[in-house]
Amino acid sequence: MNAHEIEYKLYGDDMQFVEIELDPGESAVAEAGGMMMMEDDIEMETIFGDGTEVKGGLFGKLVGAGKRLVTGESLFMTVYTNDGGVKRHVSFAAPYPGKIIPVDLSELGGKVICQKDSFLCAAKGVSIGIDFQKKLGAGFFGGEGFIMQKLEGDGLAFLHAGGTIHRRELQPGERLRIDTGCLVALTKEVDYDIEYVGKVKTALFGGEGLFFATVKGPGTVWIQSLPFSRLADRIFASAPSNGGKSKGEGSVLGGIGDLLNGDD
């Protein structure tokens, strides 16, 4: 498997986008809705699957597409190809505040396992599939479900995650417990499982869930400080629920001010 050799540049800090440089004839593949802007001579094409060669012909493509449906993704992806005679650029933007992580699969053993919603774009030739966890415990109680995406090949791929991203290199036998929503990606060597917190009191009143993701080295893991689920929960909790007024917004005198203004 030989993916296209693309070059890239990251822009921004908290709301990043990645600009990919395509030589004539080169292509990048992305999920629908990720494109931000593109120059002349960049042609878009909707394809079935991810554009990689699949063994088994049409049947193999149907199986691969069915697996993508399980993860909640579309059957189709979009390929952006430079049909001109000079270098052109296409840019992809992150959907919420966070960081874009460039992943060179050729340097990571040819495979990275990631959360199903973290994939942003990749060089054409990178295979985007699903990875079933061997242990059902990890599946049913992992924050993102027991099915995760897998990226395979020898090209560049780009992931997106919330908040600050920490890359941790695990030594052989080294273990780390991570909140299930904070685990973004891991290399294929990492042993991944789910661990019960142990004390129900701690789980119920400590503000954390009942389970941790336990990773064991050797290998590399990427961890995010702000999972989108946490951000969404806070936004939902702060959303107006009394005629357009946000709960607890403003100072501690907000309620008194409403009374003085004649508001009930």
Query: 162: domain CATH number?
Result: 3.60.160.10
Q: Among 5, 2, 50, which residue's Cα sits nearest to residue 25?
A: 5
Supply the range of the domain harboring residue 42. 7-238
Distance CA(151)–CA(129), nearest Å, equals 7
Indicate the helix (H) or strand (E) that contains 170. strand 165-170
Q: Report if residue 203 sits inside a domain.
A: yes
Taking the C-alpha atoms of residue 8 and residue 160, their distance in angstroms, rounded to an integer, is 15
The radius of gyration of the chain's CA atoms, rounded to the nearest angstrom, is 22
pLDDT band at 94 (very low <50, low <70, confident <90, very high): confident
Peptide bond into 172 cis (omega under 30): no
Write down the residue that tokens 């994939």 correspond to.
119
Indicate whether 22 belongs to any domain.
yes
Asked if residue 34 is part of any domain, the answer here is yes
In a domain, residue 110? The reply is yes
How far is the C-alpha of 252 from the C-alpha of 12, rounded, in Å?
Answer: 36
Q: Is the pLDDT of residue 156 over 90?
A: yes
Give pLDDT, residue 227.
83
Q: Is residue 255 part of a domain?
A: no
CA-wise closest residue to 114 among 164, 149, 71, 74: 149
- What's the CA gap between 163 and 161, in Å, rounded? 7
Nearest to 110 by CA among 9, 189, 27: 189
Residue of 90, 120, 86 lying closest to 19 (CA atoms): 90
Question: What confidence tens digit (pLDDT) does each residue in 100-136 have?
Answer: 999 999 999 999 999 878 999 999 999 988 876 555 4
- 245 domain residue, yes or no: no
Helix (H) or strand (E) holding 147: strand 147-152
Query: Using one digit for the tens of pLDDT, what is the confidence trace for 13-56?
Result: 888 999 999 999 999 999 888 899 999 999 999 887 666 655 55
In a domain, 221, yes or no: yes
Tokens of 56: 């088994």
Note the pTM of the prediction, 2 decimals.
0.78
Domain-located, residue 18: yes
Total domains present in the chain: 1
Q: Which two tokens stand for residue 5?
A: 């050799």
| Pure H helices in the chain | 57-70, 136-141, 200-205, 228-238, 254-260
